[in-house]
Chains A and B, each alone.
Chain A
Amino acid sequence: DTGVSQDPRHKITKRGQNVTFRCDPISEHNRLYWYRQTLGQGPEFLTYFQNEAQLEKSRLLSDRFSAERPKGSFSTLEIQRTEQGDSAMYLCASSPVDGLYGYTFGSGTRLTVV
């Protein structure tokens, strides 16, 4: 098992474009989480899944953000009509059943909106 994988590692996009990130969790992990981290801040919760079900979504997340985990394995996070304020590191994590076991984080996808 190679841990949590995120793709791409870096993404530069023009304002107004759509972007999609992918996360492959540890295979036996049922829970998958998305967080966003900006410079000088801690990770900020976006959403999480139990298998294919999206259990919670942050109220801070605008309608431009959507996440899916269609088969309960990998997940995608899409941002539509990107804005400069979306520039951040997008982190994916997984855990076996519940986050009380501790998350395993991926290395993140760094998004730069120009």
Chain B
Amino acid sequence: AQSVAQPEDQVNVAEGNPLTVKCTYSVSGNPYLFWYVQYPNRGLQFLLKYITGDNLVKGSYGFEAEFNKSQTSFHLKKPSALVSDSALYFCAVRDDRNTDKLIFGTGTRLQVFP
């Protein structure tokens, strides 16, 4: 069965510092991995994805994520956090052998302090 774990309910970081939001996954086949962000009173927005190829993928708003197959992880990163990055972040996985549905993690709230 597919599953996603986001071990941190909340991550706090000072503006200008690097940030990492953690995600680990479990699938039967090869994983397709995604990050989505949810701002207050707004819908979920797609940030980035890993399908195949380079393990470091770049996405919107300066975010990037690193796929690590041996550790079954897909951590979200940004070199320099902004206060406006404060939001709820969801990792999601899809098994390449399954049909088109995503399994989402429980979310990590990122709080960036000025």
Say what secondary structure dominates the interface of chain B: strand
Q: Decide yes or no whether A43 CB sits under 8 A from chain B.
A: yes
Contacts of B106 in A (CB 8 A): 40-42
Q: Decide yes or no whether A25 CB sits under 8 A from chain B.
A: no
Min CB gap B98→A, angstroms = 9
- Are B46 and A100 neighbours in the complex by a CB distance under 8 Å? no
Min CB gap B58→A, angstroms = 14
Contacts of A55 in B (CB 8 A): 99-100
- Are B101 and A48 neighbours in the complex by a CB distance under 8 Å? yes
Min CB gap A111→B, angstroms = 16
- Are B104 and A56 neighbours in the complex by a CB distance under 8 Å? no
Q: Decide yes or no whether B94 CB sits under 8 A from chain A.
A: yes
Contacts of B34 in A (CB 8 A): 102
Task: Render B90-102 as a binary contact track against A, CB cut-off 8 A, 1 for contact.
Answer: 1010100001111
Chain A residues with a Cβ closer than 8 Å to the other chain, count: 26
Contacts of A105 in B (CB 8 A): 36, 43-45
Min CB gap B43→A, angstroms = 4
Q: How far is the CA of A69 from the CA of B55 in the complex (A)?
A: 37
Q: How far is the CA of A106 from the CA of B38 in the complex (A)?
A: 11
Query: Which residues of A (3-53) have their CB < 8 Å from a CB of B?
Result: 4, 31, 33, 35, 40-45, 48
B: residues with CB less than 8 A from A are 4, 32, 34, 36, 41-46, 49, 51, 90, 92, 94, 99-107
